[in-house]
A and B are shown apart, each in its own frame.
Chain A
């Protein structure tokens, strides 16, 4: 059964870099059917997609965060990671990692991810001095 688990510091100081890792078990992150993404949810608020990575290392990010975000992967550990630099209190949120499924049309895998499933349990990161 596929499982994703986020890990990393729960407290980050303003202006520093937030770093999280997602460990995937039960599937390989080198599958061509999937992307691997990060989504966040500020306390009491809705969901915001941060960015995603393909097993080839290709990445794409939400333009609202693009200048501060880097997503990378480590295929040897079946993990992918998120770095968000220059954080402020507005970056306080529960951060989820998730698998993004690509659509197959007439037997051909096409496009980017179309939905996320499953998600990790999430980890709360608070930005505070």
Chain B
């Protein structure tokens, strides 16, 4: 099984400032077609996870442009260009290359 490791696990942020979360996989998430099978989710308090980014860098429908995904191989990053108060919650990366699908431990983002 592919192991997903996120860092940091806790990220205090200041509204208006940028933030980034790292996700590392135990093996490459790029297939032979060049697709990057790495997704990002945000789980707001008391809610179910919502898709932010799929296939490494594609924003899901309705996701603000301040969220961006990048990376390749085994190292991926989620960036928030300017944090808004509503961005607090748990962020998870997930690999979709090889079953069983696996998630990172989660990164808790809260306001300083």
Contacts and interface: CB of A to CB of B under 8 A. Distances in A.
A53 B96 CA distance: 15
Interface of B is mostly: loop
Interface string A29-61: 000000000000000001111000000000010
Interface residues of B, number: 25
Interface of A is mostly: strand
Contacts of A103: 35, 55
Nearest to A48: B103
A46 B37 contact: no
Interface stretch (B19-27, B43-51, B75-83): B43-51
The size class of the interface chain A forms with chain B is: 20 to 34
Contacts, number: 61
Contact of B51 (A46, A116, A121): A116
Contacts of A62: 99-100
A40 to B, nearest CB: 11
A129 interface: no
B104 A46 contact: yes
B89 interface: no
Nearest to B102: A49
Nearest to B49: A119
Interface of A: 46-49, 60, 62-64, 96, 101, 103, 105, 112-122
Interface of B: 1, 33, 35, 37, 39, 47-51, 54-55, 60, 92, 94, 96-97, 99-106
Given A60-B99, A115-B54, 18 more contacts: A46-B104, A46-B105, A47-B94, A47-B106, A49-B103, A62-B99, A63-B100, A64-B100, A103-B35, A114-B37, A114-B39, A114-B54, A114-B55, A115-B39, A115-B94, A116-B51, A117-B54, A121-B47
